[in-house]
Amino acid sequence: MREARQPINGLAASAVEYFRDVACPAISESIFDPGSKSKALAACILAHHIADWASEVAAWEEMRADCPYSEALREIALGAKHFQVKNVEVIRAAATDGLRTRGYGTGPYGRGPYGPAIHTMAKRCPTADLEWTHVGEMLKLVRTWWADKLA
């Protein structure tokens, strides 16, 4: 039997508050600073844990089936904790330079397509093929999915 969890005092009182006040700002910071490994990792970890806070709203099975890149987020979050990624079919190596991102000509020099960005090889859904994905684009899709789910 799963033990009932209590919100951390002062951090967030609900899933909506956690999403709005903790996860979304981290995701936005990662998107704004696409070359920051620490911001990308923190955003992926916090985004993955939205599911823990929103267990009344979306079951793990639903999130894993419907939320874009949910397995990749899980592997990144757990890989950060355990120093390795178990499921290489979901996510492979990260690259920080030399890959072209969508959005050519957008953003200032040093950001987006003109600067370094964190990429990963991941599956958008369990049945999809592995593809190079910009972590910021992955996080945008996850943020949108949760915003719709928690609305």
Give the model confidence (pLDDT) of 74-106 as tens digits: 888 887 776 655 554 444 444 444 444 444 444
Confidence band, pLDDT 50/70/90 cuts, at residue 1 = very low
Residue range 104-127, pLDDT digits in tens: 444 444 444 445 667 777 788 878
Distance, C-alpha 56 to centroid of its chain: 20
pLDDT of 42 strictly over 50: yes
pLDDT of 18 strictly over 70: yes
Per the CB < 8 A criterion, the answer to whether 122 and 133 are in contact is yes
- Could you give the 3-state DSSP secondary structure of residue 131? strand
pLDDT of 73 strictly over 90: no
Whole-number Å distance between alpha carbons of 7 and 10: 8
Per the CB < 8 A criterion, the answer to whether 71 and 36 are in contact is no
Residue 6 identity: Q
Compute the average pLDDT of residues 125-141.
85
pLDDT of residue 108: 47
Q: Which has more pLDDT, 105 or 47?
A: 47
pLDDT of 61 strictly over 90: no
Q: CB count, 10 Å around CB of 19?
A: 23
Q: How many residues are present in the chain?
A: 151
pLDDT averaged over the chain?
A: 74
Two tokens, residue 75:
């592997």
Whole-number Å distance between alpha carbons of 122 and 119: 9
Instruction: Look at residues 93, 79, 21, 17 and name the one whose alpha carbon lies nearest to residue 48.
Output: 79
Confidence band, pLDDT 50/70/90 cuts, at residue 23 = very high
What pTM did the predictor assign? Answer: 0.73
